[in-house]
Amino acid sequence: MSDSRETSATNAPELSVSELSGALKRTIEDRFGHVRLRGEVSGWRGPHSSGHCYFALKDEGARIDAIIWKGVYNRLRIRPEEGMEVIATGKVTTYPGKSSYQIVIDSIEPAGVGALLAQLEERRRRLAAEGLFDEARKQLLPYLPRVIGVVTSPTGAVIRDILHRINDRFPLHVLVWPVRVQGETCGAEVAAAIEGFNALPEGGAIPRPDVLIVARGGGSLEDLWGFNDEVVVRAAAGSMIPLISAVGHETDWTLVDHAADMRAPTPTAAAELAVPVKAELLAKTSSLASRLSGARLRLFERRRSELRSLARALPSSEEIMALPRQRADRAGEKLQSLAARLVDMRRFRLQRAGSSLAKHSPQAELARRREQMRGASARLQRVQPLIIARIKDKLSAFNARLVVAMRGRAANAQERVGAQRERIAGLQQRLRKAQAGNLERDRLRLKSLEQLRQSLGYKNVLARGFALVRDDAHRPLRQAADIAPGASISIEFADGSIGAVAEGGPAPSGKPVDKPQPRQPSRPQGRPGGQGSLF
């Protein structure tokens, strides 16, 4: 029995781990190939340093690793986020290094339109709360613009429809700002185009548009997602140029439609809203001109008839002047009688004034005034001593208060002077201490500098056995080539200097110097023990 078991065990072929992993990889890839998985993004940390993305998809009961390569990630329209429910399309494969299976994702999209609509509704409520969709922000479109700016794709049918409709209705100058109307960079490019048109100066080389059209053809919610970007909505709401939104078909709505000054159901309708029909405008202008001419002629004729009727109804000049002439005659008669009565009244008043003036003659008035002056002078003489005494009392009281105040101020001044003297004495003491400290610091600094000078001076070098050679002008000689034969030189040692005369010349480089024959130095007269020339 044991032999049979050993034989059966050896009948199975031996496989290496790599062979088994390769077989499993081929089996899984052949069995499943491309699949679509629905799950929740888990462990999302964004692109790796290599640009690839590593995360997982999970549901209630399972989990699978997922990979998005760098090139695929850059082409994605919807970027994954942690916790987002998505539908991923890709290829199932294995990773032999961990003995695990995974999915390599080629495309990814939100799980149904409901997720996008929920995100869109949340963004719409948030931007509406900021007031970006208020009707008060809307601008009126110009009736006849001179320049129209169009933000759309330069290669699509939308721009051709807009240009064709504008040329049919009213040919104008059209500026096209090319942008991508779908994809990841759509929102940023459209926002940059709107801001770029608004940044054009008035009267510049490039004319500034009077109205803007943001246009795109129809598509799915994902295709139009770039026009729901927050940066596009803010750019449209902040545009100082009136803006028409024509994104999608009549049933398609985006957030830029709410922020625009006017929404058109189609790009062609946007062109119709931007410009009137030139032929209709000319016909209407011609009709209004003819109506104005006829109305002017009829008005002139009616005014002429009214003038004739009024001329017939006017009375003659004699009839007009008869009544005023009669009124003037009656007024003249009344004026004469009133003048006579006024003269009589004034004469009576003059007589009454004369009698009253006679009672008050200047002599009587002058005598009365003299009596009043005498009485006032007598009263003044009686009151004058009292007034003088009262003034003297006031002056005495004021003088007493002034003396007290002067004494108080003098005492305060003396106290202040004493305090200032004490303060000056303290400052002088501090100044002496500071001067003594500064002098001591300067003395120590000079002492250290002197020690440094002595340590760095050439005297210390001479003390170590060296000598300093100078010429007759007391200039230092640093090379033997600087000394001419027979030149007078001085040699300074640590204990003194001696004079010498140079003999011979400098030896050539690399050759020994011929030593002179030694001779007995002669002692100089009067200098016992002195030293002669070294050369």
Query: Where do the structural domains in the chain lie, given as residue ranges?
Result: 15-111, 117-276, 284-311, 375-453, 457-495
> Are 108 and 87 a contacting pair, CB within 8 Å?
yes
Task: Find residue 64's DSSP bridge partners.
Answer: 57
Helix (H, G, I), strand (E, B) or coil at 253: coil
Looking at the predicted structure, is the pLDDT value of residue 513 above 70? no
Question: Mean of the pLDDT values across residues 400-406?
Answer: 89
To the nearest 10 degrees (0 to 180), the angle between helices 230-237 and 113-129 is 30
pLDDT in tens, 478-500: 888 888 888 888 888 888 888 88
So what's the pLDDT on residue 232? 92
pLDDT in tens, 8-54: 556 777 878 787 877 777 777 777 778 888 888 888 888 888 889 99
- The C-alpha atoms of residue 53 and residue 39 are separated, in whole angstroms, by 17
So what's the pLDDT on residue 244? 94
Backbone angles phi, psi at 405, to 5 degrees: -65, -40
Looking at the predicted structure, is the pLDDT value of residue 520 above 70? no
Q: What is the pTM of this model?
A: 0.42
Confidence of residue 457 (pLDDT cuts 50, 70, 90): confident
Q: What is the mean pLDDT of the chain?
A: 83
Place of tokens 């009839």: 319
Looking at the predicted structure, is the pLDDT value of residue 109 above 70? yes
So what's the pLDDT on residue 9? 53
Question: Mean of the pLDDT values across residues 94-111?
Answer: 82
Backbone angles phi, psi at 86, to 5 degrees: -130, 165
> Are 213 and 149 a contacting pair, CB within 8 Å?
yes
pLDDT in tens, 147-187: 999 999 998 889 999 999 999 899 999 999 999 988 878 88
Sign of the torsion angle spanned by Cα atoms 121, 123, 127, 129: positive
Q: Give the residue with greater pLDDT, 10 vs 284.
A: 284
Start-to-end CA span in the chain (Å): 121
Q: Mention the CATH class of domain 15-111.
A: mainly beta
- The C-alpha atoms of residue 443 and residue 427 are separated, in whole angstroms, by 24
Looking at the predicted structure, is the pLDDT value of residue 431 above 60? yes
- Smallest Cα–Cα separation from 534: which of 521, 524, 525, 523? 521
- The C-alpha atoms of residue 121 and residue 134 are separated, in whole angstroms, by 17
How far is residue 62 from each of residues 38, 175, 208, 366, 491, measured CA to CA in Å?
12, 55, 59, 134, 103
CA atoms within 13 A on the CB side of 444: 5
Return the number of other C-beta atoms located less than 10 Å from residue 442's C-beta: 10
Sign of the torsion angle spanned by Cα atoms 303, 304, 307, 308: negative
**Topology (CATH) of 117-276:** Rossmann fold (3.40.50)
SS (H, E, C) 111-145: CCHHHHHHHHHHHHHHHHHCCCCCHHHCCCCCCCC
- The C-alpha atoms of residue 184 and residue 225 are separated, in whole angstroms, by 9
> Are 242 and 212 a contacting pair, CB within 8 Å?
yes
Token pair in block for residue 245: 């939104």
- The C-alpha atoms of residue 106 and residue 125 are separated, in whole angstroms, by 33
Place of tokens 């496989």: 15
DSSP 257-288: HHHSSEE-SSHHHHHHHHS--HHHHHHHHHHH
Q: Give the residue with greater pLDDT, 320 vs 503.
A: 503
Return the number of other C-beta atoms located less than 10 Å from residue 106's C-beta: 15
